[in-house]
Every structure is written in structure tokens, then in C-alpha cells.
Amino acid sequence: MKEIIVNLHMHTRYSDGGGSHHDIAEAALKCGLDAVIVTDHNVLVKDFEGYVASGRKKVLMLIGEEVHDQGRVPQKNHLLAFGANQELATYAGNPQTLINAVKESDGLAFIAHPNDPAAPTFNETDISWEDWGVKNYTGIELWNGLSELKTVVPTKLHGVFYAYFPWLVAHHPVQDTLNKWDELLTGNNHVVAIGGSDAHAMHLHLGPLSRIIYPYEFHFKAINTHIIISKPLTGDVNTDKRMIYEALSAGHCFVGYDLPGPTRGFRFTAQGREATAIMGDEIPVRGGVTLQAHLPHPAEIRLLKDGEVIQKGMNQQALAYIVTEPGIYRVEVYRNYLGLRRGWIFSNPIYVR
């Protein structure tokens, strides 16, 4: 088992971002990421897919797409598509048709920023997901860096403040999104959670002020998706791409907010009588199952079953729990950072059946 750190969901000048693919690669190399997934709005810019190296460091740049119906009023339903081998924007008119098209072209479909509030001061509307009747998608973006920013900027002054102190923005995923995820999971679905930065590297001009706010480099140190793969990356683009997307599709990953402290090394596993499981897997309850979580640093850890906290500990580095009932078990970890309690790690669930 090998853990890789991936930052996903970001925009370049091919849509509404302020930087280039080159800027992204440079920032990713600086931050030590293993891979990035670039997702411009309604355009698949495939040419940039591949490894980018600098000295002994390298990063895999993968290209996905964020698709939505540009004619819809109001704007809603943004979908992240990874690994699909065709342009998908033409299917945007109907969310289910779009999801089907992603799946038919061997791609992964994630509901982007499920709850994305309006920020009227900046003329940003609510672009939440509305069509919850859809089926057959891979998962949801549990924690989106930009949705959370929209919750903390009631005035322009707040906007300027957070532009200069971006590390104060993130607290935890939007609570409605966490609740929605638990609701979907207990409906007998596999729903993979990922963390996205929604990086735009926007240029801000306010009077005499001019700067890039939320540069790629900032995002790449913040909300990442940590993926567990069975073998180390090989350096071959197609092999590694397949390995990453297979693990992501299986939910072998967790959302880590790496700014308060590196989340690398977090593990959540299950040991049954005859089987073992990691995040995203199913395991039979028969004969009992022992769940174990291990943190890279002591913190507040909570174990949830079907959305309810069943065990918690403060300043703890490990947790063990013997399960005798079927359920959806997942872990949340919180720690203090810059004077506030913040979400640090959100695991994908282990499905005990």
C-alpha cells in the first residue's frame, strides 16, 4: 500500500482561472504533490496530460473537466468528470445524461460543491447541486475550498481580509454537505468523498491593490485528496492514471486538510474473521470486525456509524472498535489551528455488511 497526495479541481485561463497549466505544474512540484487533476469549465484541454519533471521531482498532471449547463438559469449542478476520453460539455443539458456519458466513456463523475452558498457582495450566486434524483455517479466533493470561502465574506472588507490571510478560511466541510453524504450512504449507496480546492489563482484589483489571491501554491498545501494505491507510481502516464482513477473510484482515499499539519500517514482499516478492508471497501460482519484508525499526530478523533458519532477521543493518536452490527463506518478528525477547531481528516467509509 502506498499513499499519494493529489490536489484536484482547479481552473486555468482556458476557463475562468488566472494561471496556466505550467503555473500549476510549477506550484505542484514546489508543494511535493504526486498528481493534480485540472478541471476547466466545459472544455477538455487534453494536451497537457502527462508527467512534468524538475530535477529529481515529478508530478503527474491529469486533465478532467467541470461540466455544467451554461444556458441554465439560475446556474446549478456542476459535475467533475475525470478520466473520460471524450468532450462532455455537449451532454450538459441533463445531469443524468451527463453522468451516463461520463460512465460510458470510462470516467468518474463527482458532484462538485454540493452546497455552494451565494456571496452577494461579490456577485456570486448559489451554484449548489439541485438534481438529487440522479444515479450512478461516483461520489461527491465533500470539501470545496471556494464554497467555504463564500460562507465567510459578508462584506468586501471580509473579502480583502481573507485575500491576505487565506489560511484563516477553512474550518470544515459545509455541514449540509456532510449531512447529505450520510443520507446518501445510508441509502445503501457507495458514495466516494473527495476534497477539491477549486483553485482559480484569480487576479484581484481593488483600487491600488493588485495581487493573485488564493494562488495555486496556497491551495496545494491545503485541502488534498490522499489516495491509497496498491503499488508505487511507475512513471508511465497511462499505467499511473489507471491506478489513480481505480483507487479513487473504489473510495480508497481520504480528504486531508494539510495546512494545520501533514495528514500523510492516516489509516482507517478493518480486520474481519476472513477478510480485511480499507476505506471504500465492503467487509462481512459475520464473526465480528475490528475497526482501527491511526493518525499521524494526536487529535480529536470521532468514529461515526450511519452518520452518528459512536466513539470519540481527545488528543488521541489511535482508535480501535469492535463492530458486531452492519453499518457505514467512517472517521472524522479535528484539531486546533490558528485559535480554532478545524476539520483535519475525513475518511471514506468502510461498509460493514
Nearer to Zn ion among residue 68 and residue 226 (C-beta): 68
Query: In the window 250-309, what residues touch Zn ion (CB under 5 A)?
Result: none
Nearer to Zn ion among residue 66 and residue 182 (C-beta): 66
Each residue 59-88 as x (binds Zn ion by CB under 5 A) or -, in order, gives -------x-----------x----------
The residue of the chain with the least Cβ separation from Zn ion equals 78
Nearer to Zn ion among residue 113 and residue 330 (C-beta): 113
- DSSP annotation of 125 reads P
Angstrom distance (rounded) from CA 250 to CA 27: 28
Angstrom distance (rounded) from CA 103 to CA 353: 26
Nearer to Zn ion among residue 16 and residue 236 (C-beta): 16
Asked whether the beta carbons of 21 and 61 are under 8 A apart, the reply is: yes
Should residue 198 be labelled a site residue for Zn ion when binding is judged by CB under 5 A? Answer: yes
Backbone dihedral region for residue 250 (phi beyond 0: left; psi -120 to 50: alpha; all else: beta): alpha
Query: In the window 101-120, what residues touch Zn ion (CB under 5 A)?
Result: 112
Residue 113 CB, shortest distance to Zn ion, in Å, is: 6
Residue 163 CB, shortest distance to Zn ion, in Å, is: 18
Residue 152 CB, shortest distance to Zn ion, in Å, is: 18
Residue 236 CB, shortest distance to Zn ion, in Å, is: 29
State whether residue 94 is helix, strand or coil.
Answer: coil
Angstrom distance (rounded) from CA 221 to CA 258: 6
Residue 327 CB, shortest distance to Zn ion, in Å, is: 32
Residue 168 CB, shortest distance to Zn ion, in Å, is: 22
Nearer to Zn ion among residue 224 and residue 269 (C-beta): 224
Nearer to Zn ion among residue 17 and residue 343 (C-beta): 17
Each residue 17-56 as x (binds Zn ion by CB under 5 A) or -, in order, gives ----------------------------------------
Nearest CA among 36, 15, 1 for reference residue 217: 36
Residue 224 CB, shortest distance to Zn ion, in Å, is: 16
Nearer to Zn ion among residue 124 and residue 183 (C-beta): 124
Asked whether the beta carbons of 353 and 185 are under 8 A apart, the reply is: no
Other beta carbons within 10 angstroms of residue 49's beta carbon come to: 18
Q: For residue 251, give every residue at least 6 positions away whose Cβ sits within 8 Å of its Cβ, in sequence order, or none.
A: 139, 190, 192, 193, 279, 280, 281, 348, 349
Residue type, 199: A
Angstrom distance (rounded) from CA 154 to CA 220: 26
Each residue 145-184 as x (binds Zn ion by CB under 5 A) or -, in order, gives ----------------------------------------
Largest Cα separation within the chain, whole Å, is: 68
Of 15-23, 195-203, 278-286, 318-326, which part binds Zn ion (CB under 5 A)? 195-203
Nearer to Zn ion among residue 99 and residue 350 (C-beta): 99
Q: Where are the alpha helices (DSSP H) in the chain?
A: 21-31, 95-104, 145-150, 156-164, 175-186, 216-220, 237-249
Residue 116 CB, shortest distance to Zn ion, in Å, is: 7
Sign of CA pseudo-dihedral 173, 175, 179, 180: negative
List interacting residues with Zn ion (CB under 5 A): 66, 78, 112, 198
